Amino acid sequence: MKITTHIKWFSQHKALIPMLSLVTIMTVVNFSCENKDNDPVDIYEYYPLTVGSYTVYEVKEEIYSTGQAAPVKKTWQEKDEIEKVVSNAEGIPTYTFSRSTRNSSTDYWQKIKEFTVQKYPDKLLTNIDNQTFFSMAFPVDSRLKWNGNTYNNLEVQDYHYENVNQPVVIGTQSFDKSLTVIERKDTSIINRYIGIKQYGLGVGLISDDQTFYELCQNEDCIGSGKIESGTHKSRKILEFGGK
């Protein structure tokens, strides 16, 4: 195209120039945002394992019993801390956690149990209360499904990821990147079984919500959602750190 043709086109379409500039700016902004969301992430950092690191949670529990009008409610704090790591002959490390509890921040911690986490290239296995759970599978992908009960005798339970690399707010704390593991989501007119965990990049478990409800099945209340018995327990991060 000749230079005179360029000049003629701009003189005829000069009203479009601001619009073209805006489109260009929006394209650059969108591209930058997409690049930010797609920044490389070390998937293992969703469950970082370093001896001496700890996390403190606020725990709330509601226990429903048949014949009781209201649930029994309890609140306390728990601290999970990595105490040591040992590797087997194949080089697979096993991390030992201690779990301590206290009623409030002014009380002393009391150790109540230990549990372990084994880190494989393609998975994390958590052994707690003599049961091994297939906690996380790698690589992280929202299309991935796995049986969380592969290594125990419980019924098959398909886990999957949601909201991968998304920001989340837990209590007063914000996390730039997180992911959600849906462990169970079974609901019907007679029961509600839901298990959801959230993990923060560079932090680990930041939220754990477990619901096991048996709903009213009498003719006068079936389908109403009235809780007959069961429990609801949530753990939300309060603080985390390391030595």
One domain, residues 31 and 129: no
The proportion of the chain whose per-residue pLDDT surpasses 70, expressed as a percent, equals 84
One domain, residues 123 and 184: yes
Name the nearest CA neighbour of 208 among 166, 170, 154. 170
At 104, the pLDDT band (50, 70, 90 cuts) reads very high
Q: What is the pLDDT of residues 58-72, one digit of tens each?
A: 999 999 998 888 999
One domain, residues 17 and 57: no
Kindly report the average pLDDT of the chain as a whole number.
Answer: 87
* Distance in angstroms between the alpha carbons of the first and the last residue of the chain: 68
The number of folded domains in the chain is: 2
Asked if pLDDT for residue 36 goes beyond 50, the answer is no
One domain, residues 47 and 29: no
One domain, residues 53 and 125: yes
Omega prior to 139 cis, within 30 of 0: yes
pLDDT value at position 221? 83
pLDDT value at position 66? 87
The proportion of the chain whose per-residue pLDDT surpasses 90, expressed as a percent, equals 76
Asked if pLDDT for residue 32 goes beyond 60, the answer is no
Asked if pLDDT for residue 159 goes beyond 50, the answer is yes
Q: What is the pLDDT of residues 110-158, one digit of tens each?
A: 999 999 999 999 999 999 999 999 999 999 999 999 999 999 999 999 9
Question: Which distant-in-sequence residues (6+ apart) come within 8 Å of 163 by Cβ?
Answer: 178, 179, 180
| Structural domain of 164 | 43-241
One domain, residues 22 and 66: no
One domain, residues 12 and 108: no
Q: Beta strand 131-137 with 123-128: parallel, antiparallel or unpaired?
A: antiparallel
One domain, residues 62 and 20: no
One domain, residues 57 and 95: yes
User: What's the full length of the chain, in residues?
Assistant: 243
CA distance 199 to 194: 17
DSSP type of residue 49? -
One domain, residues 121 and 174: yes
Asked if pLDDT for residue 242 goes beyond 90, the answer is no
pLDDT value at position 224? 84
CA distance 112 to 31: 50
H/E stretch holding 86 reads strand 72-87
Asked if pLDDT for residue 210 goes beyond 50, the answer is yes
210's tokens: 């477990």
One domain, residues 33 and 131: no
Look-up: residue for tokens 């680990």? Answer: 204
Helices then strands (H, E): number in the chain?
Answer: 2, 12
One domain, residues 105 and 136: yes
Phi, psi (rounded to 5 degrees) for 16: -85, -15
